[in-house]
Structure 1
Amino acid sequence: MGARGRRLPRLRRVPAQDRPGDPGRPGRAEALSGDGPVVVVTGASDGIGAAAARRLHRGGARVVLVGRSPEKTAAVAADLPGARWTTVDLGRLDDVRRLAAELAELSGIDVLVHNAGASFARRELTVDGHERTAQVDHLAPYLLTRLLEEPLRASRARVVTTSSFMHWVGGSRRGHLLDGTGPYLATRAYARAKWCNVLFTRELARRWAPEVTATCFDPGAVATSFGAASGGITGLAFRTPLTAFMRTPAQGADTLVWLATAEEGWRNGRHHADRSPTWTALSARDDVRARELWNRSARLVGLPS
């Protein structure tokens, strides 16, 4: 039975013979076939996420693709024999909870990749009452990680998050994290969300070590549809001839794949670029802010800190 035009209730297995663009068929979230690591990649329908999923699959990983568009996500999965896929709207926390319940049915999760992200030209509130950029880029992955704590700990998993060099201009003062006050600037909202990714990684590594390790990375300026659709100065830069000098999605995904698979070289709780730990803004190394962000995020998504 086809699934075009509706949200899919279960993870999908896409047989090798399915054509790209086929929206797939219903399936159950039983154990993935094979013996490679189970890697869940959000934002896998395009750009960096799709490129990373392809490389991880070629390397023997059992890949679960998560995207917003059923058609685009299924099209990527159709090229990866044995891959599973599902959809999520990160602008709805109930949908994130549904996704977490699906993923928890897997036999285990070895790597959870938070790659999905967005930037919006105007201030918008989600159905949950949060500024949309903050929810999609930070609160939703925070909630998903928290809800998957048990399987992640059991698998001694890695959590890899796509951040950005933009975090350098996204810091907030102590006591004012995620307060959403002041005029809305698209680039500022995106930078602050990426700053939250760095702090979240730091605090996650501290709280859940040694069972769970956490890293984040800057993919660099990558010519993707995400950039062109972004608001503010970021979107303008991606709608000019400058994209000819930007990285390809495959180049942008290189550090992501390395963090997900390398035995050594990466640093738990650290930010990385070009396969190496790199400096972050001083405010993104503040353990007081990191704890505050964790606790504030917990309250906003209805979880104990």
Structure 2
Amino acid sequence: MSRRIIITGASDGIGAAAARQLVRDGHNVILVGRSPEKTKAVAEETGAPHHLADFARLDEVRRLADELKQYGPIDVLANNAGGVFQERRETVDGFEMTFQVNHLAPFLLTHLLLDRLMESNASVIQTSSVGNRAGKVDLGNLGFAKGYAPMRAYGTAKLENILFTQELHRRFHERGLSSAAFHPGVVASSFAGSSTDLMGKVYASRLARSFMRTNEQGADQLVWLASTPAGEGWESGQYYEKRKPARRINRQTRDAALARALWARSEQVLGLTPAA
């Protein structure tokens, strides 16, 4: 059965690869990207409608939500956009870039689309990372005003994606909403390509990239989760690696109180009315 699937970060990498496969499979895909040129190119290739939004600007996320509401019920929201940044910097909204792009922006988009998602018993999918194991959520230092390091900030944001997934499940699964997060594997994409730290050097290494997964391989779980209803091969609230619930995962993911507190703090800093 065809599903209406929104994919953010769809202009490149696993987002674009997933969009191509899902369109081939007959689904109604809506692309969201930051780059006008890249997003338009994928849209022309797939025939899918597209929208532009830079997650470093929350006003663009709010505009995007208004545009997406015009499509009516949404079956899948794939929060795939993200990034890692070499140096600590703040967005025009006053938040640390990694925290905003990877967590706050998809949190806001999901919140603004919640009515549409609820009315169609939708799935919300987060592209997380095995890097979550190196993360540590400190509610008093969410923006890494102290102790910033690129991979520490990124790992923490990917941990926040999992906590968000778990809290979405706790709050809304009994009302029909499902959620899942996944690690796509180490993919030979442009991710971290501009970074000058060890991670950037690894991604730039021809030898290292020869052992990485292709974008199509990295997109496999996104395609699987987006095209399959919860309960038919995957369970809501879980974090997946290689289509199986991950065995090794950050210990903070077992802290339900932290997931609730992160949700509340996210609503607070975004000035949102708490979701019921």
Question: Under TM normalisation by the shorter chain, which class is it?
Answer: over 0.9
Question: What corresponds to 1:23 in structure 2?
Answer: none
Shift of 1:231: 5.7
Indicate the SS of the match to 1:245: coil
- What is the aligned counterpart of 1:189 among 153, 156, 176? 153
Superposed, 1:11-160 pairs within 5 Å as 36-81=2-47, 83-160=48-125
Aligned to 1:178: 142
Distance (whole Å) between structure 2 residues aligned to residue 283 and residue 142 of structure 1: 19
TM-score (norm 1): 0.85
**Rg larger in 1 or in 2?**
1
Matches within 5 A, 1:258-297: 258-263=224-229, 264-279=232-247, 280-297=249-266
Q: Is the 8 A contact 1:222 1:252 kept in 2?
A: yes
Residue 257 of structure 1 aligns with an amino acid whose one-letter code is: V
| C-alpha deviation, 1:277, in angstroms | 1.3
What SS class does the counterpart of residue 50 from structure 2 fall into?
A: strand
SS at match of 2:260: helix
**After superposition, what is the alpha-carbon deviation per residue over 1:116-137, rounded to whole angstroms, capped at 9, x for unaligned?**
1111111110011000010000
Say whether the 8 Å CA contact 1:122–1:231 is kept in structure 2.
no
Counterparts of 1:137 and 1:179, CA distance in 2: 12
Structure 1: stretches of 5+ with no match in the other structure? 1-34
Give the fraction of aligned pairs with identical amino acids, expressed as a percent.
Answer: 48
Counterpart-to-counterpart distance in 2, 1:149 and 1:127: 25
CA–CA distance in structure 1, aligned partners of residues 168 and 197 of structure 2? 30
Mapped contact 1:187–1:233 kept (Cα < 8 A): no
- Contact 1:187-1:231 within 8 A present in 2 as well: no
Alpha carbons of 1:206 and 1:230: their partners in 2 closer, same or farther (altered >3 Å)?
Answer: farther
Matched AA of 2:102: D
1:107 CA drift (Å)? 2.1
Contact 1:177 1:293 survives alignment (8 Å)? no
Residues 73-95 of structure 1: CA distance to partner in whole angstroms, max 9, x if unpaired?
010111113x1001001001111
Per-residue displacement from partner, 1:199-223 (whole Å, max 9, x unpaired)? 0000011111132100000001001
Aligned-partner SS, 1:143: helix
Distance 1:267 1:252, change over 3 A: same
Deviation at residue 176 of structure 1 after TM alignment? 2.9
SS at structure 2 position matched to 1:222: coil
C-alpha deviation, 1:262, in angstroms: 2.1
- AA aligned to 1:204 is L
Deviates further, 110-119 or 274-283: 274-283
Shifted more, 178-187 versus 143-152: the winner is 178-187
Cα RMSD, aligned residues only: 1.3
Mapped to 2, the partners of 1:133 and 1:105 lie a distance apart of: 29
Matched position secondary structure for 1:295: helix
SS in structure 1 at match of 2:210: helix
Query: Is the 2:95–2:143 Cα contact (8 Å) retained in structure 1?
Result: no
Length-normalised TM-score, structure 2:
0.94
Instruction: Kindly indicate which of the two structures has a greater share of residues assigned to helix.
Output: 2
Decide whether the 8 Å contact of 1:171 with 1:284 is kept in 2. Answer: no
Q: Could you report, residue by residue, the CA deviation over 1:168-191 in whole angstroms, capped at 9, with x for unpaired residues?
A: 010224x43615331211111111
Question: What is the aligned residue count?
Answer: 269
Measure, in 2, the Cα distance between the counterparts of 1:246 and 1:185: 24
